[in-house]
Amino acid sequence: MKPAKTILEVLESHRGQRHIIVLHEYPDPDAIAVGYAHRMISAAFDIEADILYSGTISHPQNIALIRALDYKLMPYEEGFDFSHYDAAIYVDHQGGTVSEIANQLNTAGVNLLIVVDHHEDQNLYEAEFKDIRQTGSTATIYVDYLKHGLLKLETSNKNQVVMATALMHGIMTDTGSFIRAAEEDLQAAAYLSNYRDAELLNLIMSQFRTKQVMDIIHRALENRVNVESFSISGVGYLRAEDRDAIPEAVDFLLTEENVHTAIVYGIVRNDALEETLVGSLRTDKYTLNPDEFIKEALGKDSSGHYFGGGKLSAGGFAIPVGFLSGDHQKEFSQLKWNVYDKQIKAKLFARIGVDPKLFIDEETH
């Protein structure tokens, strides 16, 4: 059997091309950092690369991070022209949340070249190079590439220092400030410590929560149901720009005594009045597999794709509301939320092994 190519060999064989780096929907610090790192690495092979994202970037730390990178990410819009690109790169995801972009790439004849991710293998798309590992962050994988000489870092290179700082931020956020870090994550951080800008990192991470985020965390606290050491909360409707409040709320719920797993979800409505039920899971229970939990609890869509998945200590899901989407009368919207809220709770309680009627009937009365 022919040995698999290394990422260096793949990039070398595509020298001089133009690539599109696709981040997952509503990218987090890990995705933003590795997207930027891959763009810098590509430049060493005379590959011009753009970074594309869908959704909205609204978290104050993410906005500060992008400003520090001094690079404008490209927002995906309907009609985006992919014909200028020779290949596509997926980082920190495997295509599950960007199916529309994946279809457009396929229509334009742009092949998927590289997939690098730290979540469970979803087996969604084939690529010339795939590196899917169980690490705390995708940034950890990219640091491994750097350590093996894919790009030689120098403290005199401002862009490389900013990249190292961004990768450190990615590792810290995805491992809960190293609380959930494994050995390889800590080794990656130790390597980056020689190049990162500590003051810049502190500036990025010290951004305050907005009033909207605080209100959503308050909603999560008010609406939570605690059962079998799980804290489950629906927060109702959110604007697309407030979507990042969901993982912040779930992190907050996880700090409650006797809670080992928290799940927060809400219906996100964008400017086009399209709606998606979005949720986030965090756990401190080592024996709970977020990927398996979400897949078993929520299942698949009509095309056979799971509504969500996860990694070592976290997971997420997104379920299109579809036909019922829209800015209808308040009474209708409330009825719609009640149905989705009860359905999600019923599926989660059933997966936990608790009779959903005990809690759903109690809420009804």
What CATH number is associated with residue 290?
3.10.310
Report the b/e string of 211-241 with b at 16+ CB within 10 A.
Answer: eebeebbebbeebbbeeebbbbbbbeebebb
Determine, yes or no, domain membership for 344: yes
Determine, yes or no, domain membership for 307: yes
Q: What is the pLDDT of residues 287-315, one digit of tens each?
A: 999 989 999 999 988 878 888 888 777 88
Check whether residue 193 and residue 328 sit in a common domain.
no
Contacts of 217 (CB under 8 A, 6+ apart): 209, 245, 248, 249, 252
Position 329 pLDDT exceeds 80: no
Q: What is the pLDDT of residues 163-191, one digit of tens each?
A: 999 999 999 999 988 988 899 999 999 99
Q: Quickly state the pLDDT bin for 351 (edges 50, 70, 90).
A: very high
Check whether residue 11 and residue 108 sit in a common domain.
yes
Check whether residue 132 and residue 265 sit in a common domain.
no
The predicted pLDDT at position 112 comes to 97
Position 157 pLDDT exceeds 60: yes
Check whether residue 182 and residue 94 sit in a common domain.
yes
Instruction: Tell which of 163, 185, 205 closes a domain.
Output: 205
Q: Which of 216, 218, 221, 259 is nearest to 239 (CA)?
A: 216
The predicted pLDDT at position 365 comes to 42
**Higher per-residue confidence, 64 vs 364:** 64
Provide the domain count of the chain: 2
The per-residue DSSP string of 251-309 comes to: HHHTTSTT-SEEEEEEEEE-TT--EEEEEEEEE--TT--HHHHHHHHH-B-TTS-BSEE
The predicted pLDDT at position 3 comes to 56
Compute the C-alpha angle 166/73/250, nearest 5°: 60
Tokens representing 251 are: 């992190």
Q: Which of 214, 244, 252, 249 is nearest to 234 (CA)?
A: 249
Determine, yes or no, domain membership for 2: no
Instruction: Tell which of 159, 190, 205 closes a domain.
Output: 205
Check whether residue 52 and residue 198 sit in a common domain.
yes
The predicted pLDDT at position 364 comes to 47
Q: What is the pLDDT of residues 89-146, one digit of tens each?
A: 999 999 888 888 999 999 999 999 999 999 888 888 889 999 999 899 999 999 999 9
The pairing of strands 261-269 and 275-283 is antiparallel
Position 361 pLDDT exceeds 60: no
Contacts of 135 (CB under 8 A, 6+ apart): 118, 141, 182, 184, 185
Check whether residue 80 and residue 165 sit in a common domain.
yes
Angstrom distance (rounded) from CA 365 to CA 345: 16
Q: How far separated are the first and last CA of the chain, in Å rounded? A: 64
Check whether residue 183 and residue 308 sit in a common domain.
no
Check whether residue 142 and residue 156 sit in a common domain.
yes
Check whether residue 222 and residue 196 sit in a common domain.
no
Angstrom distance (rounded) from CA 261 to CA 224: 12
Sheet holding 308-310, edge to edge: 225-227, 230-239, 261-269, 275-283, 314-320, 308-310
Counting residues of the chain whose pLDDT is more than 70, the rounded percentage is 96
Determine, yes or no, domain membership for 139: yes
- Rounded to 10 deg, the angle between the 138-147 and 183-192 helix axes is 60
Which residue is listed with tokens 């995708």? 138
Q: Which of 178, 197, 79, 102 is nearest to 135 (CA)?
A: 178
Determine, yes or no, domain membership for 1: no
Least confident of 4-13, 117-126, 273-282, 321-330: 321-330
Phi-psi region at 228: left, alpha or beta (left = phi > 0; alpha = psi -120 to 50): left
Contacts of 213 (CB under 8 A, 6+ apart): 242, 244, 245, 248
Determine, yes or no, domain membership for 242: yes
Check whether residue 322 and residue 346 sit in a common domain.
yes
Which range of residues forms the domain containing residue 282? Answer: 211-364
Instruction: Provide the CATH number for the domain around residue 144.
Output: 3.90.1640.10
Q: What is the pLDDT of residues 217-248, one digit of tens each?
A: 999 999 999 999 999 999 999 988 888 899 88
Check whether residue 180 and residue 282 sit in a common domain.
no
HSE-up of residue 297 (Cα within 13 Å, Cβ side): 31
Q: What is the pLDDT of residues 40-97, one digit of tens each?
A: 999 999 999 999 999 888 788 889 999 999 888 999 988 899 999 999 999 999 988 8
Position 5 pLDDT exceeds 90: no
Distances (CA, A) of 302 to 69, 101, 305, 316: 40, 19, 8, 19
Check whether residue 240 and residue 194 sit in a common domain.
no
Task: Please give the average per-residue pLDDT across 193-205, as a whole number.
Answer: 94
Determine, yes or no, domain membership for 25: yes
Task: Please give the average per-residue pLDDT across 340-356, as a whole number.
Answer: 92
At 242, which amino acid appears?
Answer: D
Instruction: Tell which of 189, 205, 221 closes a domain.
Output: 205
Phi–psi pair at 115, nearest 5 degrees:
-130, 120
